[in-house]
Amino acid sequence: MSKNYDVLLKILLLGDSGVGKTSLICRYVDDDVRATHVATIGIDFKLKTVDVGDKRVRMQIWDTAGQERFETLTTQYYRKAQGILLVYDVTSGRSFKNVRRWLASIEENASQNIKRLIVGNKSDMLVGREVTVKQGKQLASEYKLPFMEVSALKNTNVSEAFGALAGLVVNQQSGTEPAKQVERRETIQLQPQSSKDEGGCSC
């Protein structure tokens, strides 16, 4: 049987425990988010096939544990990934502060040309917000990385975030990406993509 995709991408989600990495993946792949939270143990992945430009892309999306005791295990997957979605919780100043630590870990362990996108999750929270949109943009600008706020609960900008990261990787691989210009954007919006969902939600 011939494969039904043109490109295989390995995407890694990083960030502190509880920021909503599993919820983002469940929303994107299965369009489902459960209210109860169970911390991810170790690492797991889901599959989703999407269209990026004229390419059929199979995304292997890796969900990682944010607890420090799993960090050695998680870093083993850095070099296998072509893109990283770095997630913090807008209601947790600590998780936002730790973005710098995660970026340093990526710098140390990932390949030089890996694509990164900073994402502030739980943008639907009107009460308890500790990190402003402006602060998120400033941090992303400092590292010359794209930035987006999302909500797994309300399904706001979730597909756009994953699609933007996939687009950056695909364009880089095809040699059509003006890398420096793209990475300096504070937000990225892609046209809606057709998709084929695979797997069930285990979040």
Which of 58-67, 113-122, 132-141, 157-166 has the lowest average pLDDT?
58-67
Look at residue 102 in the predicted model and tell me its pLDDT.
93
Average pLDDT, the chain: 81
Query: What's the pTM?
Result: 0.80
Highest mean pLDDT out of 22-31, 69-78, 133-142: 133-142
Q: So where are the chain's domains?
A: 7-191
Measured CA to CA, the distance from residue 180 to residue 176 in angstroms comes to 12
Residue with the larger pLDDT of the pair 182 and 23:
23
Q: What is the mean pLDDT of residues 179-200?
A: 39
CATH tag, 7-191: 3.40.50.300
Look at residue 147 in the predicted model and tell me its pLDDT.
98
Which of 48-62, 85-99, 140-154 has the lowest average pLDDT?
48-62
For residue 33, what pLDDT band results from cuts at 50, 70 and 90?
A: confident
191 pLDDT above the threshold of 80: no
What contacts 24+ positions apart, CB below 8 Å, involve 33-36?
Answer: 33/152, 33/153, 33/201, 33/203, 34/201, 34/203
Look at residue 174 in the predicted model and tell me its pLDDT.
77
Q: What is the mean pLDDT of residues 23-43?
A: 72
